[in-house]
Amino acid sequence: MEKQHLYTQTHTPPAPRCARLSRSDDVRPRAPGLSVRAQLGTRRWARWAGAAMAAVFDLDLETEEGSEGEGEPELSPADACPLAELRAAGLEPVGHYEEVELTESSVNPGPERIGPHCFELLRVLGKGNYGKVFQVRKVQGSNLGKIYAMKVLRKAKIVRNAKDTAHTRAERNILESVKHPFIVELAYAFQTGGKLYLILECLSGGELFTHLEREGIFLEDTACFYLSEITLALGHLHSQGIIYRDLKPENIMLSSQGHIKLTDFGLCKESIHEGAVTHTFCGTIEYMAPEILVRSGHNRAVDWWSLGALMYDMLTGSPPFTAENRKKTMDKIIRGKLELPPYLTPDARDLVKKFLKRNPNQRIGGGPGDAADVQRHPFFRHVNWDDLLARRVDPPFRPSLQSEEDVSQFDSHFTKQTPVDSPDDTTLSESANQAFLGFTYVAPSVLDSIKEAFSFQPKLRSPRRLNSSPRTPVSPLKFSPFEGFRPSPGPQELVEPPLPPLLPPPPPPPPSSTAPLPIRPPSGTKKSKRGRGRPGR
């Protein structure tokens, strides 16, 4: 009977109830050689541990009828914290432990509530007609201290034009649904009364445009590396029925390691599978396929034309067809002769020619094989595609960064500006706000990190110089009012994790922020002078 008293409590514990959570499940007696499990017996030990967990999670425990242990005293929620009783019996937990108050919020925090107040502004990375792109740091909730790029769009300017609303819809939907090593990752999307926010991974290597402008041209090996990663990204988009339609150096970012990431998905077209075509006139003129210009209907083959124009740009210093104005540039794309410099290798010349076939059915990648046909071309014969996809191939250029806050690879015209997110004082009508229903999103990877932290177990364009860019962007002209944001397929609530033998300590509470979007100058930023102008511009 004395043993029974050691593991059942008849008094009411004081409130609030606390548990001492050990990092180790090793609970040893002061007398060597005698464990708690040995004193209780396996069955009774399991029932005691189950009652402790039931008290924390407010669960009802059921016992099979006629099971072993009948007649044993029932364990109440008070038994969840028998530390004093254990010590009275000569038992002492060993290892490091701390006292933690168990509350509903600390045990089951629920979905993260995300908003502008969760981020601290660091730098301006870019600016457009509809908003800005900031470098920010997460200061509340999960992923504390992580650096992101925050794209802020003004609703009032977007809803004025149906094509701009479609641009925003497409970008948000595709960023949610597409996950690939060479495509930028969306972490959060949320909105306030007057603004839309996209929280993206921060790609501190800057634009490929900046590096191409600095170098003038790339060596073939360098171009081959970037073209290979882009090919895998385009192939993945096509496999999901998505045409990219705006491939150019300004929309290709580099990670801190030097790998590419496609960004800016506002001109994408979804649900275009084998045999389907679309007629929207959109893109950037110098990289647009002729079938878009003549409006004969186009499919995913337009992306391979754009990749050919980009390849030509990398190897020669300018796109293949340029002129002093937009009309003449379009005429050259439709009817002009392709001229190749003599220094290109035979494989490079052959691939450029096959990319820039005006008949999309004859264009490499334009058939059912899509990206696989491109990958088999001799220009890529030295590429190990499995290693490339796993990012085991060293990039030809790795940005020189002093810290994760370093913005030296971005245009100093923007990064020198004071980062300010202007007050959100615009109020849209209820009908106007209907266009943004379902915009809010939290990435499944973020939800997983929240669960791990609390589990109990051992056309805003991409940031670039909009005014000085030689490109001529063209926006889509079609929009269906019936298209909307797809509801997020990811988990909307946190599911209770399985219960382990003992409770480890939860993480410390995040610091609170009283002022929304505080401004703090980053440290360790390296400044660099970049070359201006490129051959052929």
**What residues form the annotated binding site for ATP?**
151
Residue 110 buriedness (CB in 10 A; 0-12 / 13-18 / 19+):
exposed
Q: How far apart are CA 133 and CA 414, in angstroms?
A: 10
One-letter amino acid identity for 53?
Answer: M
Cβ pair 93, 35 in contact under 8 A: no
Residues 358/348, Cβ–Cβ less than 8 Å: no
Nearest residue to 492 (alpha-carbon basis) of 434, 452, 440, 457: 440
Give the DSSP letter of residue 392: -
DSSP for 86-114, written as a single string: HHHTTEEE-S-EEEEE--HHHH---S---
Token representation of residue 146 = 């992580």
| Residue 23 per-residue DSSP state | S
152, two tokens: 């802020």
473 class by beta-carbon count within 10 Å (0-12 exposed, 13-18 middle, 19+ buried) = middle
Query: Given 246, 264, 303, 406, which residue is catalytic?
Result: 246
164 is catalytic: no
Contacts of 356 (CB under 8 A, 6+ apart): 305, 308, 309, 312, 320, 338, 363
What are the structure tokens assigned to 303, written together? 């992306």
Cα–Cα distance, 271 to 288 (Å, whole number): 20
Find how far residue 85's CA is from the centre of its chain: 49
* Burial class of residue 481, CB neighbours in 10 A (0-12, 13-18, 19+): exposed
Residues 6 or more apart whose Cβ sits within 8 Å of residue 357: 363, 364, 366
Q: How many residues does the chain have?
A: 537
Of 245, 250, 236, 364, residue with least CA distance to 313: 250
Contact between 388 and 382 under an 8 Å Cβ cutoff? The reply is no
Number of neighbouring beta carbons within 10 Å of residue 123 = 24
What torsion, rounded to 10 degrees, do the Cα atoms 202, 206, 207, 211 define? -160
Residue that the structure tokens 């990190």 belong to: 449
Report the alpha-carbon distance of residue 444 to residue 231 in Å, rounded: 26
Q: Which residues are catalytic?
A: 246
